[in-house]
A and B are shown apart, each in its own frame.
Chain A
Amino acid sequence: MSLTQTFNEPALREPAFQEPAFQEPAAAASARRATARRGALALGPLASVLLGLSFPLALLLAWWGAARFGLVPEQILPAPGTIYDTTLGLIADGTLATHLEVSARRVLIGFGLGAVFGLAFGAAAGLSPAVRAFLYPPVQAVARVNVLAWMPLLTLFMGIDEPLKYVVIGWSAAIPVILGTARGIENVSPAFRELGQVLHFDTRDTLRLVAVPGAVPSIFAGLREGLANAWQTLVLAELFASFEGLGYLMTWGRQLFQLDLVIIAMIVVALAGLAMDLLLRLAERRAQPWTRGTADVH
């Protein structure tokens, strides 16, 4: 969930942005090892999945029961059946697809712009100490104020149309990419750098053979964070000012007092965010074939 987007310089950003993917396997694995050792709850992966699913299912059941017996008014929580019917309706008339498409386009364009800028600037900052010394701090200062606060100002300059959305989404996506790239390149093992020097690599070869491969994990961490940010900011921008898209669907549902629309939009936002993260994780595996043997880390 990584919301957001503050350039929070490294240390401060870190708590907010740990990707679940990083921490969850560590916690899960250690839990598994611990339980295996204690012999208490040694369960297979299937049982794990079932246990994990049991809670949402129980919630769903409680929700269904509450609606069935009229414990919760429709205005507070519509029955699961209502949600299901509305979802089918939205799919059938193409509304959901339209909104999803608009949102996805905004995220992809915004993220694309932000990622390109972030990679370029991050690489410059990672490779050149001068860039880092002069340009990094101001960028950090500007980025530290969340894009949310800049939005009213940006609106004055560029209105509330698509460009605003691309810019704020790109902005929030660029920040972790800059950080990840700069840090990744800067932290490439000095031994590799020296080897490159000994072999008289020129700048291009240094980039291609030393800096980029060494920095890939960190760059991908930045990209994933950036994508999560882009998705977060999309919702923000669409809540702020928009006439289509998933965020708008929520606002609209709220105005019509149709809670089912709000909930469906939330679920779609969550699922689409998960799917995007998954895709990027697959790309990450592709980009670093050498980590495949040590899949446990991911």
Chain B
Amino acid sequence: MSIDATARSDSPADSPAASLAPSRRATARRYGALRPDWRPLASFGALLALWFAAHHLGWIAAKYLPSPLAVVERLMSEIRTGTILDDLQETLRRNLSGLAIGAAAGLALGALLGISTLVGRIVGPTVLAQRQTALFAWVPLLAMWFGGGDTGKIAFIAVAAFQPVVIGTWRGISLVPATYRELSDVLLLSRWNYIRLVAVPSALPMIFTGLHGALIYAWLATVGSELFLNISPGLGGRLNQGSQLFEIDLLFLAILLFGLIGLGYNTLAERAEALLVRWNSR
């Protein structure tokens, strides 16, 4: 038993997913943060130069490839008229509402699955199997249930955010090291105190990983829902407009914004995660 306990004590580190995490982070560092490296900048510069050249030397018809300057100009005029800002606001509002609903539901169910082994064994397999469904397969069903308007979109975003959170929370809580459990048994902690003092703090990093995933998925679902469901104000609507009306500068602008906001979300989540990990390991 004591051997088992020692073996289990570092078990989160041996679980393959957990042991992958540090190495991924290490790779990220190697590829990313350690980089006042000129070489990636050089290739980005080359890419930009190529873009300019392809446009101005007429390699690709201007119809298909706007000049980078045209994209900047479009952004300026969109900001001046305020259209793009309204679209962004609409999109972000939908995104955050869906995220909040999905994450809250995911946290609640994940906690239930993690705390009660019985519930975990009864409901857990269904949750895992449901994860295999392609996310976008939900779009038509949700559209029929909630309509293609705002409600349908938010419902879809919530479903997207729900999945990673429920898994992260469940895993985090059920992987509390056995030594902690034993300690709390020895200390005769009540179930509530166990959850408050042991389970939640120890599960926090994984819950956070789930939330990070939710952020990414919810963003993807936001743009997807705007592309697939009724057209309404929002970034996805502009993407559609750019494609259908052949306003190539608008299309590039929308893609850039889509990428930049995703990037912003990621950076935010990574920073918060780093902060949390530091706090957690203290």
Interface residue ranges, A against B (CB under 8 Å): 1, 3-4, 6, 8-12, 14-16, 18, 20, 22-24, 26-28, 30-31, 33-35, 37, 40-41, 43, 48, 51-56, 59, 75-76, 132-138, 140-141, 144-146, 148-153, 155-157, 183, 186-187, 231-232, 234-236, 239-240, 247, 250-251, 253-254, 257, 259, 262-263, 265-266, 269-270, 273-274, 277, 297
Q: How close is A176's CB to chain B, nearest CB, in angstroms?
A: 12
Is the pair B217, A16 in contact by a Cβ cutoff of 8 Å?
Answer: yes
Task: Answer whether residue B72 sits at the interface, using C-beta atoms and an 8 A cutoff.
Answer: no
Report the bound CA distance from A236 to B137 in whole Å: 8
Whether B171 and A253, one on each chain, are in contact in the complex, defined by CB atoms closer than 8 angstroms, is: no
Q: How far is the CB of A109 from chain B (nearest CB, A)?
A: 18
Contacts of A236 in B (CB 8 A): 134, 136, 224
Docked-complex contact B133 and A254, CB < 8 angstroms: no
Cβ-neighbour of A134 out of B18, B43, B125, B209 (below 8 A):
B43
**9 other A-B residue contacts (CB within 8 Å) besides A183-B23, A259-B144:** A1-B131, A1-B132, A11-B270, A24-B128, A30-B8, A134-B39, A134-B43, A138-B40, A265-B140
Given contacts A152-B240, A250-B137, A274-B132, contact A27 B126 (CB under 8 A): no
Q: How many residues of B contact A (CB 8 A)?
A: 90
**Would you call A11 and B122 a contact (CB within 8 A)?**
no
Residues on A with beta carbons closer than 8 Å to the beta carbon of B255: 145, 149-150, 153
From the candidates B118, B243, B259, name the one contacting A144 in the complex (CB within 8 A).
B259
Q: In the assembled complex, which residues on chain A have CB atoms less than 8 Å from the CB atom of B121?
A: 31, 41, 43, 48, 51-52
B17 touches A30 (CB 8 A): no
Q: What is the minimal beta-carbon distance from B115 to any residue of chain A, in angstroms?
A: 11
Contacting pair A266 B137 (CB below 8 A): yes
| Contact A231–B134 (Cβ < 8 Å) | yes
Q: Which residues of B contact A (CB under 8 A)?
A: 1, 4, 8, 11, 15-18, 20-21, 23-25, 27-28, 31-32, 37, 39-40, 42-44, 47, 64, 117-118, 120-126, 128-141, 143-145, 160, 163-164, 167-168, 170-171, 174-175, 178, 181, 209-210, 212-213, 216-217, 220, 223-224, 227-228, 239-240, 242-243, 246, 248, 251-252, 254-255, 258-259, 262-263, 266, 269-270
Q: Are A40 and B134 in contact (CB under 8 A)?
A: no
Q: Which of A31, A155, A250 contacts B120 (CB 8 A)?
A: A31
**With A148-B223, A266-B137 as contacts: A11 and B24 at CB distance below 8 Å:** yes
SS of B interface (majority) = helix
Contact A10 B144 (CB under 8 A): no
A34 x B178 contact (CB < 8 A): yes
Q: How many Å lie between the Cα of A236 and that of B240 in the bound state?
A: 15
Partner of B133, one of A1, A26, A28, A277: A1
Choice from A52, A187, A277 contacting B132 with Cβ under 8 Å: A277
